[in-house]
Amino acid sequence: MRAVVCRSYGPPESLVLDDVPEPVPAPGQVLVRVHAAAVNFPDVLFIAGKYQVKIPPPFIPGNEMAGEVISVGEGAPFRKGQRVAGTTFGAFAEQALLDATQAALVPDDADFASAAAFGVTYRTAYHALRTTAAVKQGDWVVVLGAAGGVGLAAVDLAVAMGARVLAAASSPEKLELCRQRGAEAVVDYDREDLKLRIRELTGDAARVVLDPVGGSYAEPALRGLARGGTFVTLGYAAGSIPAIPLNLVMLKDICVRGMEIRTFMADYPDEFVRDIEELTAMFAAGTVRPYIGARFPLAETPAALRYVADRKVLGKVVIDVA
């Protein structure tokens, strides 16, 4: 089968398309013919050797996909031909193994691309909104990087939860997309004073900031929070980890929290089950569907990763495999 392979750490352009052996499902696994795989910013970090957890090359990157079950390992509660989606490692390939515990059936009215693009970013955003920040109906939620994968998922979900969303992004095109997805207010944080505009647009009532971007945007967004607000750090797509003056936290009685999807289930097992059940129901009902801003064939996976690395993406990028 064909697969995208990372032979050594480096930029997206260092990836190669190669023929590799077909995987065989172990007990509790299913083998999936991949129809669509989604690209996430951590994929860029994995191939560069810059993620918190390093995988020694060679390896097949990609951790989010949807497709059709080819064969089933002993004990896995699926059957050949079922449409499934889930998270794994090695998704940028024509076939991939998926642990049954990480797999879910794709709703009849959802296509493979939407199912592949839904998992990681929407789970990250929902855990952050529902559990970490405990967002309530009517709360003002500020989302940084609001047109990116996690950001736009947060906009979609916060709107569905009845919150009021202020979307912060870096271009008129991105902000218009956020408006279309339900954001009540927008701010161009490369051209406007982010702290001032958050205060003005929310009436100094911003209760939550979700930040998957970091860099120079974090501190002004934190300064824009109302007293007693919550700042949730989710990642650093801007390329640098911000340093926050702790006196701001003290003087404004702000809570600064982190949420990392890789460890959330172990840290909050009960909340994880609740959140996944609620999120799965929303997807099955069609309440939320990911926005797919770009699609690439498997052979152009390096270009897809470069697109994400350069922060050009609107919503999610999907690799069409089959």
| Same-domain pairing of 13 and 99 | yes
pLDDT per residue as tens digits for the range 33-66? 999 999 998 899 999 998 888 899 999 999 999 9
CA distance 81 to 228: 51
Q: Which of 258, 290, 309 is the last residue of a domain?
A: 258
State the first-to-last Cα distance of the chain, in angstroms, to the nearest integer: 12
pLDDT per residue as tens digits for the range 254-297? 999 999 988 998 999 999 999 999 999 999 999 999 999 999 99
pLDDT at 186 over 90: yes
Instruction: Report the percentage of the chain scoring pLDDT > 70.
Output: 100
Q: Which domain holds residue 242?
A: 133-258
| Same-domain pairing of 40 and 107 | yes
| Same-domain pairing of 284 and 244 | no
8 A C-beta contact, residue 229 and residue 208: yes
Q: Which of 235, 258, 281 is the last residue of a domain?
A: 258
CA distance 156 to 134: 16
8 A C-beta contact, residue 47 and residue 6: yes
CATH of the domain at 58: 3.90.180.10
127 domain-assigned: no
- The model carries a pTM of 0.90
What is the mean pLDDT of the segment spanning 219-223? 97
8 A C-beta contact, residue 72 and residue 78: yes
pLDDT at 238 over 90: no
58 cis-preceded (ω within 30 degrees of 0): yes
Number of domains in the chain: 2
Lowest average pLDDT, out of 204-208, 238-242, 250-254, goes to 238-242
Q: What's the confidence (pLDDT) of residue 322?
A: 82
| Same-domain pairing of 106 and 31 | yes
CA distance 192 to 166: 14
Which residues have a Cβ under 8 Å from the Cβ of 272 and sit 6 or more positions away?
127, 264, 265
